[in-house]
Each structure stands twice: as structure tokens, then as C-alpha cells.
């Protein structure tokens, strides 16, 4: 495999990982909410769902960042992956 294929697979794998972590965090927070449901007022459930969704997105971002830091310590990224944004070409001189 070449660097572009590695980069594409890394981005695809990272996206799937991030989505799975978001879903897992959301489900875990919903389980915690369901156990506390009898102690909450009736209108608390209406705002709890969006708050739990936002918390799960933030948590997945933090887990993803931690995973990337660990991977970057173990793997030389420049050796296996293309840069996501190309290098700027120097301006061409007109004769």
C-alpha cells in the first residue's frame, strides 16, 4: 500500500472509531439517566437528551484526541501517511 491509501484508510478508521465512541458514550449516559429517571422532575427528560448528546460528542472528541496522541508516539506518521494538505508550491517566476 502507498501513503495515500494508508492516509485514506486511517481517516476512514478514525471516523468509524469516533462514531462508535460517540454511540457508546451516548448509550452509557442514557443508561445512567434511566436509572436516575425516577428522581428527576418530568421536564428534565426534555432537556437531558440534547445535553447527553452534546456530552457524548465532547467525550468522543477527547477520547479520539488521546488515541491519536498515543498513536503518534508509537508510529512515525510522516513515514506511513501523506500530509492531508499539500505543500505550497513556490511561486513561478515569469521570464
Place of cell 508510529: 75
Cβ distance 59 to 21 under 8 Å?
A: yes
Determine the structural domain holding residue 22 and report its residue range.
3-80
DSSP label of 2: -
Query: Does any domain span residue 7?
Result: yes
Query: Does any domain span residue 95?
Result: no
pLDDT in tens, 56-87: 999 999 999 999 899 888 887 777 777 766 66
Looking at the structure of the chain, the number of domains it has is 1
Cβ distance 26 to 56 under 8 Å?
A: yes
Cell of 89: 508550491
The pair phi, psi for residue 8, each rounded to 5°, is -60, -45
pTM above 0.85, yes or no: no
Amino acid at each position: 500500500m502507498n501513503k495515500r491509501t494508508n492516509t485514506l484508510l486511517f481517516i476512514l478508521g478514525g471516523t468509524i472509531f469516533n462514531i462508535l465512541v460517540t454511540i457508546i458514550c451516548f448509550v452509557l449516559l442514557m443508561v445512567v439517566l434511566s436509572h436516575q429517571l425516577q428522581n428527576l422532575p418530568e421536564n428534565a427528560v426534555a432537556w437531558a437528551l440534547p445535553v447527553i448528546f452534546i456530552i457524548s460528542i465532547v467525550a468522543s472528541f477527547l477520547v479520539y484526541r488521546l488515541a491519536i496522541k498515543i498513536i503518534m508516539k508509537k508510529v512515525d506518521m510522516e513515514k506511513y501517511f501523506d500530509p492531508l494538505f499539500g505543500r505550497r508550491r513556490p511561486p513561478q517566476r515569469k521570464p
